[in-house]
Amino acid sequence: MQGAAMDPAEEPPSMLWGLDPIFSAFARLYVRDILQMTESTQVPGIYFYNLHPIYKVDVLGTVVYKRERDDFFCYGVDDGTGVINCLCWKSNLLKEAEDPNKSGTKKHSDADHGGFDPVAELKKLGQAQLKRCRLEIGELVRVRGPVKTSRQQREIMASTYYKVDDPVMAIQIAWMMEVPQLYRQFYDKPFQINAAGSSIESSIGKATNIIKDFLKQKLVTKFRPYDVQDLLQPLIPSRHQAQSAEQEPVAGPSGCQQLSHLLKEVLQILQNEGVVYRKVKSQDEMYHVTRQDKDLFIAVKDIIREDSKREKYVEKGCHVLHILSAVRQRYSLNVSKAALELVLKTLECDSDIISTSDSHYIAI
C-alpha cells in the first residue's frame, strides 16, 4: 500500500523545507515507512515523514527479485520491514564491459613489454564495476537515491548502488543499531517551525552550549539536574512575554514544565556525545563530567597498560570495544562508548597512550 497525498493544510510551506537538515540528507528510513510516506501537494517527488520533507533515501537490504534491461537493473530490496523496487542505471563503463563487440581483438601495447596499459587497466576497472553492480538474489545491496512514484508504485531511482560484502554481518548489525537511534533522535521528532521562523532545535542547541560552557569554566566534576536548571531559565519565555494584553491566555505546558523538558533533552544530548555519564543509575540523578573524572582516566590507563602486555594485544594494541567491556566490568556498567572515546582522545593528546589504528590503542 502506497502513501496518499498530504492534506495541503497540514503541509509545511515549501520555502521552509530547507530549515530541516533531514531535507538535504539521504534519510535512512525503513522500507515500510518509505512506502507509506505521504506525498507533497506542492512539489511532486517530495514526501513527508512526521512532517519532515524527504526526497532521497538510503537503504540496505537483501535482493529478493531482479530484472535486467539494456540500460538498467531492477532490484527488489527487502530490509526486513518491506520490499521496494530500486531502479539502478548502468554506467557507460558498465555497458562497454558487457558489450562483446567493443572488446575487439587484442592489440599490442606497452603492457606486452612490461609497461602500463591504460586500456587494459580500464577494462579491469569495468570488470570490477560489473561484478559489484550485477547482483544475484540473496545478496546484500546498498541503494541511495531519490524516491519516485511510477505507475502508482513507490520506488527508488538509485544514484548510487553496490553489492555489500558482509560475511560476518558486521555491517548489517551496525546498520540495525544506528537506524533506530536516527529515528529516536530525528525522524520521530516532528519538524516544527516557531513564530520566528527558526526550528525548535535552535533552543536546544543554545541550552546545550550553555551547560557545556558552565561545566568547562567551573571545572565541574559531577552535578545533579537541579544544580544547572536555573542556567536555562532565560531561554524559557514567560507567559506575559508570549502574548499581548489583548490576547486570551493560551493553554500549554507551564514554564517549569518547559524548563524540565529542555533540561532533559540537553542531558540526553550530553550523554550521547559522551560529555557526561551516570556512574550509578539510581533515583539520585548524579551526572559525572567525563573530562573531570580522574578515576575513570586512571581505570582506562590501567586497563590499556595491563592488557597491552598480553600476547593477544602486544602487537596491535587493545581494541576500543575490549577496553569498553573491561571498563564496564571494573569501573562502571554505565560508561558509554562516546564517553570512552572522549577519554581515549584526551589520553592520546596527553601522550599517555597511542593509537595503532582507528580503533586500537597501546600504552606508552
What is the chain's mean pLDDT, rounded?
84
Q: In this structure, are 74 and 108 located in the same domain?
A: yes
Q: In this structure, are 131 and 25 located in the same domain?
A: yes
In a domain, 4, yes or no: no
- Average pLDDT on 84-111 reads 63
Structural domain total, the chain: 3
pLDDT, tens digit, 9 for 90 and up, residues 17-27: 888 889 989 99
- Which of 155, 171, 187 marks a domain boundary? 171
In a domain, 114, yes or no: yes
In a domain, 319, yes or no: yes
Q: Residue 252 above 80 pLDDT?
A: no
Q: In this structure, are 276 and 326 located in the same domain?
A: no
Q: In this structure, are 134 and 150 located in the same domain?
A: yes
Residue 100 — very low, low, confident or very high, per pLDDT cuts 50/70/90?
Answer: low
What per-residue confidence (pLDDT) applies to 250? 42
Choice between 199 and 220, residue whose per-residue pLDDT is larger = 220
Q: In this structure, are 316 and 264 located in the same domain?
A: no
Q: Residue 226 above 70 pLDDT?
A: yes
HEC sequence for the chain: CCCCECCCCCCCCHHHHHHCHHHHCCECCCHHHHHHCEECCCCCCCEEECCEEECEEEEEEEEEEEEECCCEEEEEEECCCCEEEEEEECCHHHHHHHCHHHCCCCCCCHHHHCCCCHHHHHHHHHHHHHHHHCCCCCCEEEEEEEEEEECCEEEEEECEEEECCCCCCHHHHHHHHHHHHHHHHHHCCCCCECCCCCECHHHHHHHHHHHHHHHHHHCCCEECHHHHHHHHHHHCCCHHHHCCCCCCCCCCCCHHHHHHHHHHHHHHHHHHCCCEECCCCCCCCCEEEHHHCHHHHHHHHHHHHHHCCCCCCCCCCEEHHHHHHHHHHHCCCCCCHHHHHHHHHHHHHCCCEEECCCCEEEEC
Domain CATH for 301: 1.10.10.10
pLDDT, tens digit, 9 for 90 and up, residues 164-190: 999 999 999 999 999 999 999 999 988
Q: In this structure, are 214 and 103 located in the same domain?
A: no
Range of the domain at 131: 14-171
Q: In this structure, are 27 and 87 located in the same domain?
A: yes
